[in-house]
C-alpha cells in the first residue's frame, strides 16, 4: 500500500466526486426553487452524454484527425449537447411540472418518475439498448506523473473544468440579478412575484442551468468510462441525489461537499486496506475528543448565568466532560439538582459513546489491517457513509437551505 | 384638490357564497395617508389583495392614475407603482438586508440574462446605481440599518426592524402608492410611535399611503382620512375623529348592544 496508490485513489475519488457534483447541483437547485425532487435529472444527464457521443460519432473522428480539428469537434459536441439538453430540461419543466404546480408534492414527484421512464425508453427507441461507445480518438489519453503517481490528463481536465463551472455558478447565484431572482424565488415565490420578479422565467432558468451542468457531466462520464447506456443515469442520478442530501438538499456548496465525500468514500472504501481506513477513524476520534474535552465544555460555560458564575461551578461543568466518565454517569444517576450540569452530563455521555464507537472501529480495522473490502461493497459503503452522517446531522453536512419564515 | 392616485370602483369579490368585498368604492389622493379599519374578517386584506393583483375582482375596476390595473399580474402592478408590505412579514430572510432592498428594485433594472453573463458596462452601471439607491432608502430609517449590517441576513434583525426593512423593500419599487398591511402589528407603544412618525415623514417626502391598521393611536395620529369597513362594505369614511365616533363603526366593533351602552 504505497503513497502513490493512495494518491491516485484520491484523485479518482475527487474526479468521481466532481462528476457527482455536476449532477447534484441540478437536483439541489431545482429543490431550492420548487421543493421538488426532479427524478428525471439522471436521465437528462444520460441524454447529455448520448448527444455528445452521437455528435462525435456522426462527425467521425479518428486518430488521424489533427489536434486543432479535434478540439473544434469537441467544442461542437459540447455546445450541441449543452443546448439540446438545456432545452430538454426547459421542456420537462414546462410540460411535466408547471401544469402540476401548486398540487400536493407527491404529484409532480410521480410526474418526474414518469418523465424518467419515458426518457430511458426514448433512448432505447432512438439508439437501441446497446451502450453507445465514445470515439476514443477524442478522449485525451495521456498520463502525467504527479508525486510519483500516474494521473490521467483527463482527470485533471475534469477536476479543473468542474471547479471552473462551480465558480461560475456561484457567481451567477451570488453576484447577478438573475441569481438574486433565484434566491428570492426559492425563499418565497409569491412575495418574489409581487416584487416584479418573473418567477416562471426564473424557474425555467434554473432548469436550463441544471440541465446544462448535467449535460457536461454526461459528456465527461462518456469520455471517462468510454461508453454510456440508456440506464446509466439511474445510478448516477441516485448517487448525485444522495450527495445532495448528504451536503444538505437545496444548499449549493453542500452539493459539492457531499459529492466529494461520496466520491472519496467510494474510492477509498474499496481501494484501501482496513489498516489505512482505520486512520480515518483515528482522525474522527481526535476530532471527537477535541469536541468532548475542549469545544463542548467551553460552549456550556458560556451558558452559565452571571450570578452563578464561580470557578467552582465552572470546574463542576468541565468535570462531567472529562475523560473519566465516572463523574458524568454519577451526575446522571444522582438526583437532578442543577439543570445545566445534568444536561451537560447527558451530552458528555453521548459524546463519550460516540468516541468509543470510533475507537472500537479503529481498533477492529487496525487488527484486520490487511483485509480490503471487495469492490462489490462500493455502493454499500457509500450508503453507510450517508446513514452515518445523516444520523448525526439530519439536515446534511452544511444544512438544508430552509426558508425561515418570519 | 390633489390628483387621484388610486380609484377603486365598486369592486366585489366572493369566496364561495361569502362576499368578502362587496361593491366597495373609494379614492386615494396624492400625498395623503388613508387608513382602512374594520373588525377582523371585514375584508381589509382582501381589498389589499385585490388592489395588488393577488386576487382578481369579480366585478368592478381598480384604476391607478386613470389606468385600469384590475386583472393584471402582481408583478405588473408592482412595476406600475403599487408596492406593499404584508401583515405576516414576508422578507427573504436568508438574503442580506441590502439584497432584500435590491430585490425590490428588480423590476426597475433592465439588464437581462445575457448582460449578467457578460458583465456588460450597462449592467455594472445599473448595479452600482441600484446599490446606491438601496443604501439611500435604508438611510431613511436612521440608526436602524447601519452600513455594517447591510450584508447580514434579514433574519438577524429584530422584529421591529424586519417590519422597517419590509417598508424599505416596498419603497425600492419607487411606488406611486404604498400599501402597508398593519405596519405596527406586534410592536410596543414606543416602537409604534416611531413607525407612525416615519409613515408621516414618508408622506411629507411625497409618498401616498394606504394602510390597514388596528392601533387606534397610529390611526388617529397618522391618517388624513379613514375608511371603515364591515362585512366587505364601506360603512363610514372621513376624518379620523369623525369615523371613530360614527355609530355604525362603533356598532361594527362592539355589536349592537355594546354600541347602545356606549352611547
A202-248 pLDDT tens trace: 999 999 999 999 999 999 999 999 999 999 999 999 999 999 999 98
Chain A interface disruption, residue of B78, B98, B106, B151, most A CBs within 10 A: B106
ipTM for the predicted complex:
0.76
Residue A22 φ/ψ, nearest 5 degrees: -60, -35
B156 and B28 co-located in one domain: no
| B130 min Cα distance to partner chain A (Å) | 11
Nearest to A27 by CA among A18, A16, A17, A39: A39
Give the pLDDT confidence score for residue A405 in this predicted structure: 40
B42 in a structural domain? yes
| Residues B201, B218 within the same domain | yes
Please count the other Cβ atoms lying within 10 Å of the Cβ belonging to residue A204: 17
- Residue B92 domain-assigned (yes or no): no
Question: pLDDT tens-digit profile of A42-63?
Answer: 999 999 999 999 999 998 877 7
Q: B173, B191, B209 — which closes off a domain?
A: B173
Q: What are the start-end ranges of the H helices in A227-310?
A: 232-247, 252-271, 274-290, 296-302
Distance in angstroms (rounded) separating the CA atoms of residues B232 and B19:
7
Confidence tier at B110 by pLDDT (50, 70, 90): low
DSSP assignments along A31-100, one per residue: HHHH----TTHHHHHHHHHHHHHHHHHHHT--TTS-HHHHHHHHHHHHHHHHHHHHHHHHHHIIIIIGGG
SS3 assignment, position A28: helix
Residue A399 pLDDT greater than 80, yes or no:
no
Q: Is residue B90 part of a domain?
A: no
Q: What's the DSSP call for residue A293?
A: I
CA distance B136 to B127: 14
Same domain as B189, residue B133: no
pLDDT at site A205: 94
Q: Do B74 and B179 belong to one domain?
A: yes
Q: Residue B205 — φ and ψ, nearest 5°?
A: -75, -10
Q: Please give the pLDDT value at position A160.
A: 94
Do A243 and A386 contact (CB within 8 A), yes or no? no
Q: Is the predicted pLDDT of residue B255 greater than 80, yes or no? A: no
Q: Nearest CA of chain A to the CA of B126: how many Å?
A: 11
Task: Give chain B positions within 8 Å (CB) of A193.
Answer: 73-75
Residue A389: inside a domain: no
- Considering the domain architecture, whether residues B77 and B179 belong to the same structural domain is answered as yes
Residues A324 and A185 in one domain: no
Percentage of chain A surpassing pLDDT 70?
98
Give the distance from residue B26's alpha carbon to the nearest chain A alpha carbon, in angstroms.
23
Average pLDDT, chain A: 88
Count of structural domains within chain A: 2
Whether B187 and B73 share a structural domain: yes
pLDDT of residue B262: 63
Range of the domain at B61: 1-81+175-263
Sort out which chain B residues have CB atoms less than 8 A from A190's CB and list them.
Answer: 54, 74, 90
pLDDT tops 60 at residue A269: yes
Q: Report the percent of chain A where pLDDT is more than 90.
A: 43
Tell me which chain B residues have a C-beta less than 8 angstroms from the C-beta of A195: 75, 78, 83, 103-104, 106-107, 169, 173
Q: Which of B37, B6, B80, B79 is nearest to B226 (CA)?
A: B37
Yes or no: say if A321 and A297 are a contact pair by the CB < 8 Å rule: yes
pLDDT of the residue at A88? 96
Instruction: Answer yes or no: do B107 and A195 touch at CB < 8 A.
Output: yes
- Does A399 fall in a domain? no
Q: Is residue A393 included in any domain, yes or no? A: no
Is B36 inside a domain boundary? Answer: yes
* Same-domain status, B9 and B45: yes
In this complex, do B127 and A194 lie within 8 Å of one another by their Cβ atoms? no
Q: Do A217 and A346 fall into the same domain?
A: no
The total domain count for chain B is 2
Grid cell 446544462 in the structure block, residue? A212
Residue A99 belongs to domain with CATH number: 1.10.3470
Considering the domain architecture, whether residues B71 and B196 belong to the same structural domain is answered as yes
Based on the domain organization, do A139 and A78 belong to the same domain?
yes
Cell of A249: 438538499
CA-based nearest residue in chain B for residue A176: B116
- How far apart are alpha carbons A132 and A218 in whole angstroms? 12
Q: End of a domain among B153, B173, B193?
A: B173
Task: Indicate whether B182 and B63 sit together in one domain.
Answer: yes
pLDDT of A374 higher than 50: yes
CB atoms under 10 Å from CB of A283, counted, come to 12
* Per-residue model confidence as pLDDT tens digits over A149-188: 888 999 999 999 999 999 999 988 888 888 888 998 988 8
Cβ atoms A14, A260 nearer than 8 A: yes
- Assess whether A229 and A366 both reside in one domain: no
Identify whether residues A197 and A216 lie together within a single domain.
yes
| pLDDT of res. B119 | 66
Question: Domain ends where: B115, B141, B173?
Answer: B173
Among A46-50, A305-309, B126-130, the range with the most confident prediction by mean pLDDT is A46-50
Q: Which residues of B touch A406 (CB under 8 A)?
A: 89, 91, 93, 154-155, 162
Task: With respect to residue A381, please indicate whether it lies within any of the assigned structural domains.
Answer: no
Q: Which of B19, B1, B3 is nearest to B177 (CA)?
A: B3
DSSP state of A374: -
CB contact set of A120 (below 8 Å; sequence gap of 6+) = A43, A46, A230, A231, A233, A234
Domain match, A155 and A228 both? yes
From A222, A242, A272, the end of a domain falls on A272
- Domain endpoint, select from A272, A299, A315: A272
The reported pLDDT for the residue numbered B109 is: 63
Cα gap B178→B83, rounded to integer Å: 5
What integer pLDDT is reported at residue A55 of this predicted model?
93
Q: Is residue B130 part of a domain?
A: yes
Which residue segment(s) compose the domain that A358 sits in? Answer: 275-371
Asked whether residue B190 falls in the same domain as residue B200, the answer is yes
Give pLDDT tens digits for B1-59: 678 899 999 999 999 888 899 999 999 999 999 999 988 888 899 999 999 988 899 99
Same domain, yes or no: A107 and A254:
yes
> Do residue B113 and residue B218 come from a single domain?
no
- Is the pLDDT reported for residue A320 higher than 80? yes
Terminal-to-terminal C-alpha distance of chain A: 55
- Cβ distance of A194 and B107 shorter than 8 Å: no
What pLDDT shows up at residue A243?
92
B132 within a domain of the structure (yes/no): yes
Q: What percent of the residues of chain A are helix, what percent strand, and what percent coil, each to the nearest 5?
A: 75, 5, 20
User: In this structure, are residues B9 and B31 in contact, taking their beta carbons and an 8 Å threshold?
Assistant: no
| Domain-terminating residue out of A243, A272, A301 | A272
The CATH number assigned to the domain holding B234 equals 3.40.50.300
B54 vs A194: CB contact, 8 Å cut-off? yes
Q: Are residues A120 and A153 in the same domain?
A: yes
Nearest Cα residue to B207 out of B188, B186, B187, B222: B222
**Is A378 domain-assigned?**
no
Q: Which residues lie across from B212 on neighbouring strands?
A: B36, B181
Together in a domain, A285 and A361: yes
Q: How far is the C-alpha of A196 from the C-alpha of B192, rounded, in Å?
A: 29
Residue A91 is assigned to a structural domain of this protein: yes
DSSP B141-167: STTTS-GGGTTSBGGGS-HHHHHHHHH
Confirm whether A97 is domain-assigned.
yes
B141 shares a domain with B191: no
Contact yes or no for A27/A244 (Cβ under 8 A): yes
> Do A113 and A240 reside in the same domain of the chain?
yes
Pair A208, A356 in one domain: no
A139 and A240 belong to one structural domain: yes
Q: Is residue A365 part of a domain?
A: yes
Name which residue leads in pLDDT, A282 or A64: A282
Confidence of residue A336 (pLDDT cuts 50, 70, 90): confident
Amino acid at each position: 500500500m504505497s503513497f502513490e496508490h493512495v494518491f491516485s485513489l484520491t484523485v479518482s475519488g475527487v474526479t468521481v466526486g466532481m462528476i457527482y457534483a455536476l449532477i447534484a447541483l441540478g437536483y439541489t437547485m431545482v429543490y431550492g426553487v420548487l421543493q421538488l425532487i426532479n427524478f428525471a435529472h439522471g436521465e437528462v444527464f444520460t441524454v447529455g452524454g448520448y448527444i455528445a457521443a452521437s455528435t462525435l460519432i456522426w462527425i467521425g473522428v479518428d486518430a488521424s484527425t489533427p489536434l486543432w480539428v479535434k478540439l473544434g469537434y469537441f467544442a461542437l459536441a459540447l455546445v450541441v449537447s449543452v443546448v439540446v439538453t438545456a432545452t430538454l430540461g426547459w421542456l420537462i419543466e414546462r410540460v411535466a411540472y408547471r401544469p402540476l404546480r401548486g398540487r400536493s408534492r407527491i404529484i409532480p414527484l410521480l410526474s418526474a418518475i414518469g418523465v424518467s421512464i419515458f426518457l430511458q425508453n426514448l433512448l432505447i427507441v432512438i439508439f437501441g439498448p446497446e451502450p453507445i461507445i465514445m470515439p476514443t480518438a477524442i478522449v485525451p489519453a495521456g498520463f502525467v506523473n504527479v508525486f510519483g503517481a500516474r494521473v490521467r490528463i483527463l482527470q485533471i481536465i475534469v477536476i479543473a473544468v468542474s471547479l471552473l463551472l462551480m465558480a461560475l455558478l456561484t457567481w451567477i447565484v451570488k453576484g447577478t440579478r438573475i441569481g438574486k431572482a433565484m434566491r428570492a424565488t426559492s425563499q418565497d415565490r409569491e412575495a418574489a412575484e409581487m416584487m416584479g420578479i418573473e418567477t416562471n422565467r426564473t424557474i425555467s432558468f434554473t432548469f436550463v442551468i441544471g440541465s446544462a451542468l448535467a449535460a457536461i457531466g454526461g459528456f465527461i462520464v462518456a469520455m471517462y468510462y468510454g461508453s454510456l447506456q440508456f440506464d446509466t443515469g439511474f445510478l448516477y442520478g441516485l448517487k448525485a441525489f444522495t450527495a445532495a442530501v448528504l451536503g444538505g438538499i437545496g444548499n449549493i456548496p453542500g452539493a459539492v461537499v457531499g459529492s466529494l465525500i461520496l466520491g472519496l468514500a467510494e474510492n477509498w472504501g474499496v481501494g484501501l486496506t482496513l489498516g489505512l481506513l482505520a486512520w480515518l477513524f483515528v482522525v474522527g476520534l481526535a476530532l471527537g475528543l477535541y469536541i468532548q474535552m475542549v469545544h463542548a465544555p467551553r460552549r456550556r460555560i458560556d451558558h452559565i448565568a452571571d450570578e452563578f458564575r464561580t470557578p467552582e461551578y465552572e470546574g463542576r461543568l468541565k468535570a462531567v466532560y472529562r475523560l473519566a466518565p465516572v463523574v458524568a454517569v454519577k451526575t446522571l444517576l444522582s438526583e437532578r439538582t442543577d439543570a445545566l450540569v445534568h444536561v451537560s452530563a447527558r451530552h458528555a455521555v453521548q459524546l463519550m459513546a460516540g468516541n468509543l464507537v470510533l475507537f472500537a472501529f479503529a481498533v477492529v480495522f487496525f487488527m484486520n489491517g490487511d483485509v480490503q473490502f471487495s469492490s462489490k461493497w462500493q455502493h454499500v459503503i457509500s450508503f453507510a457513509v450517508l446513514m452515518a452522517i445523516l444520523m448525526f446531522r439530519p439536515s446534511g453536512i452544511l444544512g438544508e437551505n430552509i426558508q425561515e419564515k418570519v | 384638490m390633489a390628483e387621484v392616485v388610486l380609484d377603486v370602483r365598486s369592486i366585489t369579490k366572493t369566496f364561495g357564497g361569502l362576499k368578502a368585498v362587496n361593491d366597495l368604492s373609494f379614492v386615494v389622493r396624492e400625498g395623503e395617508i388613508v387608513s382602512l379599519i374594520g373588525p377582523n374578517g371585514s375584508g381589509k386584506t382582501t381589498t389589499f389583495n385585490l388592489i395588488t393583483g393577488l386576487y382578481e375582482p369579480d366585478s368592478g375596476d381598480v384604476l391607478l392614475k386613470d389606468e385600469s390595473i384590475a386583472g393584471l399580474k402582481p408583478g405588473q402592478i408592482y412595476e406600475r407603482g403599487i408596492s406593499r408590505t404584508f401583515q405576516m412579514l414576508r422578507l427573504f430572510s436568508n438574503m442580506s438586508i441590502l439584497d432584500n432592498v435590491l430585490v425590490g428594485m428588480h423590476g426597475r433594472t433592465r439588464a437581462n440574462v445575457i448582460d449578467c453573463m457578460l458583465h456588460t458596462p450597462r449592467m455594472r452601471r445599473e448595479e452600482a446605481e441600484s446599490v446606491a439607491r438601496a443604501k439611500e432608502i435604508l438611510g431613511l430609517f436612521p440608526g436602524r440599518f447601519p452600513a455594517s449590517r447591510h450584508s447580514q441576513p434579514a433574519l438577524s434583525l429584530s422584529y421591529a426592524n424586519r417590519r422597517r426593512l419590509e417598508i424599505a423593500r416596498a419603497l425600492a419599487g419607487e411606488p406611486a402608492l404604498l400599501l402597508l398591511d398593519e405596519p405596527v402589528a406586534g410592536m410596543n407603544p414606543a416602537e409604534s410611535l416611531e413607525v407612525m412618525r416615519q409613515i408621516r415623514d414618508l408622506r411629507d417626502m411625497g409618498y401616498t399611503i394606504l394602510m390597514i391598521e388596528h392601533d387606534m393611536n397610529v390611526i388617529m395620529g397618522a391618517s388624513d382620512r379613514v375608511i371603515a369597513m364591515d362585512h366587505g362594505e364601506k360603512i363610514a369614511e372621513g376624518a379620523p375623529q369623525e369615523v371613530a365616533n360614527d355609530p355604525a363603526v362603533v356598532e361594527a366593533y362592539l355589536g349592537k348592544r355594546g354600541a347602545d351602552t356606549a352611547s
